[in-house]
């Protein structure tokens, strides 16, 4: 009796056990028939020694399966692998968190809540176009006011670089007004008067300037001076200067008189102007003149009047209703009103001022006398600079600061209802739209001339390195992401990565090995030398170089992964090719291949339909162990930070993120389970690979 395997892999028996020589039946059918017969005849019939009932025939597939499941390690490996696939491909659907979801937590933490600073700087509210005040005055306003305070002056004249004059006037200690003086030029004195141009071309010619009367003989004197190459010459007691411009000379004489813009003002004016220096003023005929000296020119201006340019004040306005901060035009009007001691109205609403316990309070005019805001010289703001504190709080802070100043202490505490903020740092409101407040202790500390208020407040933080808990089974990592979710997605990346790489190298290996083994001769030689070359090239260094290059080129995470898979697959085909080629070399000589040749099958069909399927068992074994080693390579690369990148989760990166000495010690609950997952997966692949090899080829079973 002989057994052979046909295309479907089923066993057929060409047998003649009981003389049925002419029929060819499947042994299973025969066995079934026998069974029926024996049942019909009764249980007590003894089985004959050559009975086929004694023989149980399994198909090769069944045989392999049976041998596989008797291998304990292989079964263990299979279970681990199935668990791993469920864990990384199916479990994420039932797990509530994603791989890049960031978790937050609430925590009590001392925060810098607010700050109080005494105002010394003046704020300027401009009443004219701000740009019309020159920066040389504008930038020194506070300094000018300080100098006024020191010298006890109530008024200070200022001049900018353009010669405009300003006046600063004190209204009260904290309010000053800046006036711009309007002026009109009336006369100039000094400087040079141009007489004309002397050209030396064509023996010399003099062209007089417009409107200048040339004294007789001046032209001849110029000619002499030019010939003598002197830059100055005297003529009739006056000194003239020559200035060479290319081939001509400009002749000018220092002016000794006044030239007027408009009508002449006479010798009396000139005498007073002569006596005045830069910035000095003099009066004549009820008009004030001011003198300005620029180099050797003296300009005289008539002062026409003054315009109010800016209001300067150190006051800040604390609103009673913190949701309605006061506007600039209101501030200007209020400051003015305080100076003048009057009422004022803005946008149709009337307001009155009144002194109240040393503070000036602005009320809305009318019977209700609603307080609007108060003049204050302390700026109390949220630490972020936002003016959103309520009036009562500010009032309390001012009180405490006063006490502190009196008792000369640096730290003080008081309790207050502090408005609570949510995760975005915004105020929280209850269902009635009221601010949610909680009683907290406010610590007021003096730092230089500022008072910092710190409060223990609930803050919303990224929940980093949370230990394992009910919400996060394996805790959270340094980015506040759920470790367990990342383990699942990391497994997905690792498994998909290794499958694709192994598929690439197997396909390449089958093609190259198949061609080499089938054709032999020089083709085989060529491909095998290529295999040798690929064996020589170290793959890990090349992957590291590529990883560093991808880093420098800032490739996107997915593009990187694709490249890494392609390169790893391309570098790994040599082993598969060598194995396939070896198998095919021995298979080629067998009868079945001779038969395919005799039947006249095409080469491609012979290689891929008849040779390759016979190599399949070895291929599956190689590929299974290959999967494990690719996972190791990938996780090593990721561990080095050169493989799969954040935010994609991989096992290697997860371990890398806690590999410093301190983190390693503190966060073992992150890296140990992840490391064990890698080991388990690779071990499982190796167990299954070993089991498969033993099952396919029992002769090799050791």
The encoded tokens of residue 666 equal 């503190």
Neighbours of 31 (CB within 10 A): 18
Q: Which stretch binds other proteins (CB under 8 A): 274-282, 337-345, 580-588, 684-692?
A: 684-692
Alpha-carbon gap, residue 691 to 77, rounded angstroms: 9
654 is a contact residue toward other proteins (CB under 8 A) = no
**Residue 651 burial (10 A CB sphere; 0-12, 13-18, 19+):** buried
113 is a contact residue toward other proteins (CB under 8 A) = no
The answer to whether 487 and 495 are in contact (CB under 8 A) is no
Among 224, 441, 532, 597, binds other proteins (CB under 8 A): 532
Residue with tokens 């501030």: 331
690 is a contact residue toward other proteins (CB under 8 A) = yes
Q: Which stretch binds other proteins (CB under 8 A): 98-106, 276-284, 594-602, 670-678?
A: 670-678
586 is a contact residue toward other proteins (CB under 8 A) = no
Among 175, 225, 655, 695, binds other proteins (CB under 8 A): 655
Beta strands in 427-507 (DSSP E): 437-447, 450-462
Closest CB to other proteins among residues 75, 102: 75
Among 122, 363, 687, 696, binds other proteins (CB under 8 A): 687
Q: Minimal distance in Å, beta carbon 81 to other proteins?
A: 13
Among 49, 536, 598, 599, binds other proteins (CB under 8 A): 536
Residue with tokens 């083994």: 517
Q: Minimal distance in Å, beta carbon 80 to other proteins?
A: 11
Strands 155-159 and 205-208: unpaired
Beta strands in 78-200 (DSSP E): 104-118, 123-126, 155-159, 165-172, 175-190, 192-199
Q: Minimal distance in Å, beta carbon 515 to other proteins?
A: 19
- List, in sequence order, the alpha helices (H) in 246-321: 266-275
533 is a contact residue toward other proteins (CB under 8 A) = yes
227 is a contact residue toward other proteins (CB under 8 A) = no
Contact set for other proteins, span 262-291 (CB under 8 A):
none
Q: Which stretch binds other proteins (CB under 8 A): 304-312, 489-497, 612-620, 665-673?
A: 665-673
Among 545, 559, 592, 595, binds other proteins (CB under 8 A): 545
Among 682, 691, 695, 696, binds other proteins (CB under 8 A): 682
Among 49, 228, 598, 661, binds other proteins (CB under 8 A): 661
Q: Given its phi and psi angles, is residue 475 left (phi above 0), alpha (psi -120 to 50 degrees) or beta?
A: left
Q: Minimal distance in Å, beta carbon 661 to other proteins?
A: 5
Look at residues 114, 160, 110 and name the one whose alpha carbon lies nearest to residue 137: 160
Closest CB to other proteins among residues 288, 686: 686
554 is a contact residue toward other proteins (CB under 8 A) = no
526 is a contact residue toward other proteins (CB under 8 A) = no
The answer to whether 581 and 528 are in contact (CB under 8 A) is yes
Contact set for other proteins, span 384-443 (CB under 8 A):
none
- List, in order, residues 6 or more apart from 455 with CB less than 8 Å away: 110, 111, 113, 418, 440, 441, 442, 443
Residue with tokens 């002197």: 230
541 is a contact residue toward other proteins (CB under 8 A) = yes
Look at residues 359, 354, 319 and name the one whose alpha carbon lies nearest to residue 337: 354
Alpha-carbon gap, residue 25 to 15, rounded angstroms: 8
- List, in order, residues 6 or more apart from 314 with CB less than 8 Å away: 119, 120, 121, 122, 123, 174, 377
Kindly report the CA angle at 414 between 410 and 417, in degrees rounded to 5?
140
Neighbours of 66 (CB within 10 A): 11
548 is a contact residue toward other proteins (CB under 8 A) = yes
Alpha-carbon gap, residue 340 to 347, rounded angstroms: 19
628 is a contact residue toward other proteins (CB under 8 A) = yes
553 is a contact residue toward other proteins (CB under 8 A) = yes
Closest CB to other proteins among residues 200, 640: 640
Closest CB to other proteins among residues 376, 635: 635
Q: Minimal distance in Å, beta carbon 577 to other proteins?
A: 15
Look at residues 352, 310, 354 and name the one whose alpha carbon lies nearest to residue 328: 310
Q: Which stretch binds other proteins (CB under 8 A): 33-41, 195-203, 372-380, 678-686?
A: 678-686
Closest CB to other proteins among residues 227, 533: 533
The answer to whether 146 and 498 are in contact (CB under 8 A) is no
Among 265, 678, 692, 695, binds other proteins (CB under 8 A): 678
Q: Minimal distance in Å, beta carbon 540 to other proteins?
A: 6
Closest CB to other proteins among residues 122, 534: 534
Look at residues 202, 238, 193, 209 and name the one whose alpha carbon lies nearest to residue 223: 202
665 is a contact residue toward other proteins (CB under 8 A) = yes
461 is a contact residue toward other proteins (CB under 8 A) = no
668 is a contact residue toward other proteins (CB under 8 A) = yes
49 is a contact residue toward other proteins (CB under 8 A) = no
559 is a contact residue toward other proteins (CB under 8 A) = no
Among 21, 542, 559, 562, binds other proteins (CB under 8 A): 542
The answer to whether 377 and 174 are in contact (CB under 8 A) is yes
639 is a contact residue toward other proteins (CB under 8 A) = yes
Residue 66-105 contact track with other proteins, rule CB under 8 A, x = bound: -------x--------------------------------
- List, in order, residues 6 or more apart from 439 with CB less than 8 Å away: 415, 416, 417, 418
| Site size toward other proteins, by CB under 8 A | 44
HSE (CB half, 13 Å, CA atoms) of 423? 7
Binding site for other proteins (CB under 8 A): 73, 529-530, 532-533, 535-538, 540-542, 544-545, 548-549, 552-553, 628, 632, 635-636, 639-640, 642, 652, 655, 659, 661, 664-665, 668, 671-672, 675, 678-679, 682-683, 685-687, 690, 702
């Amino acid at each position: 009796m002989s057994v052979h395997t046909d295309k479907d892999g089923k066993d057929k028996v060409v047998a003649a056990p009981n003389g049925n020589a002419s029929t060819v039946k499947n042994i299973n059918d025969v066995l079934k028939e026998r069974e029926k017969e024996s049942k019909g005849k009764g249980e007590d019939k003894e089985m004959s020694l050559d009975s086929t009932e004694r023989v149980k025939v399994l198909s090769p597939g069944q045989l392999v399966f049976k041998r596989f499941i008797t291998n304990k390690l292989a079964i263990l490996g299979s279970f681990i692998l199935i668990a791993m696939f469920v864990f990384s491909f199916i479990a994420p659907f039932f797990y509530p968190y994603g791989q890049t979801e960031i978790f937050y937590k609430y925590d009590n933490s001392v925060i810098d809540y607010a700050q109080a600073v005494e105002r010394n700087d003046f704020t300027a509210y401009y009443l004219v176009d701000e740009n019309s005040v020159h920066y040389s005055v504008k930038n020194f306003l506070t300094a000018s006011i300080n100098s006024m305070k020191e010298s006890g002056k109530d008024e200070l004249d200022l001049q900018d670089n353009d010669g405009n004059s300003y006046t600063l006037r004190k209204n009260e200690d904290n309010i000053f007004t800046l006036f711009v003086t309007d002026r009109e030029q009336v006369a100039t004195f000094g400087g040079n008067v141009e007489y004309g141009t002397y050209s030396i071309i064509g023996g010399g010619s003099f062209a007089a300037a417009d409107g200048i009367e040339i004294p007789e003989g001046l032209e001849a004197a110029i000619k002499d001076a030019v010939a003598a190459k002197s830059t100055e010459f005297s003529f009739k007691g006056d000194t003239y200067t020559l200035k060479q411009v290319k081939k001509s000379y400009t002749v000018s004489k220092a002016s000794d008189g006044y030239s007027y813009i408009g009508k002449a003002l006479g010798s009396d004016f000139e005498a007073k102007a002569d006596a005045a220096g830069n910035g000095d003023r003099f009066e004549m005929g009820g008009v004030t003149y001011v003198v300005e000296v620029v180099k050797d020119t003296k300009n005289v201006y008539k002062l026409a009047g003054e315009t109010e340019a800016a209001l300067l004040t150190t006051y800040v306005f604390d609103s009673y209703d913190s949701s309605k901060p006061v506007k600039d035009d209101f501030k200007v009007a209020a400051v003015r009103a305080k100076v003048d001691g009057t009422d004022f109205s803005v946008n149709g609403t009337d307001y009155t001022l009144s002194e109240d316990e040393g503070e000036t309070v602005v009320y809305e005019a009318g019977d209700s006398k609603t307080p609007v805001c108060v003049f204050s010289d302390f700026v109390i703001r949220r630490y972020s600079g936002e003016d959103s504190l309520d009036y009562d709080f500010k009032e309390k802070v001012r009180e405490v600061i006063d006490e502190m100043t009196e008792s000369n202490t640096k730290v003080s505490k008081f309790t207050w209802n502090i408005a609570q903020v949510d995760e975005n740092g915004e105020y929280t409101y209850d269902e009635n739209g009221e601010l949610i407040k909680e009683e907290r202790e406010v610590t007021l500390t003096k730092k230089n001339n500022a008072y910092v208020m710190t409060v223990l407040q609930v803050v919303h933080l990224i929940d980093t390195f949370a230990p394992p808990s009910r919400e996060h089974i394996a805790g959270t990592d340094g980015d506040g992401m759920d470790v367990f979710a990342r383990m699942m997605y990391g497994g997905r990346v690792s498994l998909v990565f290794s499958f694709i790489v192994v598929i690439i190298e197997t396909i390449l290996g089958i093609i190259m090995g198949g061609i080499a083994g089938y054709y032999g001769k020089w083709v085989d030689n060529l491909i095998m030398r290529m295999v040798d070359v690929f064996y020589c090239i170290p793959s890990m260094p090349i992957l590291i170089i590529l990883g560093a290059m991808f880093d420098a080129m800032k490739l996107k995470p997915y593009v990187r992964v694709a490249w890494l898979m392609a390169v790893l697959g391309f570098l790994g085909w040599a082993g598969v090719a060598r194995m396939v080629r070896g198998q095919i070399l021995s298979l080629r000589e067998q009868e079945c291949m001779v038969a395919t040749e005799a039947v006249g099958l095409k080469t491609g069909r012979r290689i891929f339909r008849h040779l390759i399927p016979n190599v399949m068992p070895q291929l599956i074994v190689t590929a299974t162990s290959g999967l494990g080693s690719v996972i190791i390579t990938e996780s090593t690369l990721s561990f080095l930070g050169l493989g799969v990148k954040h935010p994609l989760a991989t096992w290697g990166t997860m371990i890398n993120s806690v590999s410093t000495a301190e983190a390693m010690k503190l966060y073992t609950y992150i890296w140990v389970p992840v490391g064990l997952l890698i080991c388990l997966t690779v071990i499982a692949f190796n167990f299954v690979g070993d089991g498969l090899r033993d099952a396919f080829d029992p002769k090799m079973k050791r």
